[in-house]
Amino acid sequence: MRAPFGARVTTAVSLRGPLCVGIDPHPSLLEAWGLPVDAAGLERFAMTCVEALAPEIAVVKPQSAFFEAFGSAGVAVLERVIAESRAAGALVLVDAKRGDIGSTMAAYARAYLGEGSPLAGDAVTLSPYLGFGSLEPALELAGRTGRGVFVLALTSNPEGAEVQRATAADGRSTAQVIVDQAAARNAGASPLGSVGLVIGATIGAAGVDLSKLRGTILAPGFGAQGGTVADLSRVFGDSLRHVLPSTSRDVLRHGPDVSALRSAALKVRDSLAVTH
């Protein structure tokens, strides 16, 4: 049995630094790299990213939608990205944002968290907006297989606020309810639990109490989307040491040269040293 994800991500960050780099084969990036917007271009883009990033960066985050857009050929590339990134020593967070109920959620859990599934990395992003309890099949399976989940809590898109900052019957915001339920799942874990949260680096003051979370916080929006080291301190305060900033375009625009990609990622990583 592998160690729990909370322990593995703590080790990875201590050895490789606090950075997650997205592998986002957006059509505009393929074009910028001089690649065709087809399955062959997707594969060249993705595997160049793996070669440049996976040996050095703690966590890589392939965005599933950009692979799925190419059908079965794209999913096959995603499977290869997962396998080869893990073989190179990176943790793989599959950014799929799945969320459903009952047997459907259980099927998503088997796909992204089940032992032997080619789509199972080390963790997956989940959406809790059918109720946090609807995630139980994924939470249970992640616990059994030593994998992790990152649950959307406060996202950086403006539309998210109408749901995430809405007030529940007990006066807490929806986001705080999600934070508290994640914290309950992580209670007693050491060094960290395996239920993380997604909180955008550009949201301003978070307005949620993260003090009991005992989990990793994925902070997308760092870099090209405007998030800075100062923003991280402002948003996360005393929880900053558990934050995993995430960037994609700020690094990926330096491709297709492998050395340039790697250098860009390491430069961003080194800029974050003061946060941990």
CA 174 to centroid of chain Cα atoms: 21
Amino acid at 58: A
Catalytically annotated residues = 97
Question: Cis omega (within 30 of 0) on the bond before 256?
Answer: yes
Q: Which of 188, 242, 192 shows the shortest CA–CA distance to 217?
A: 242
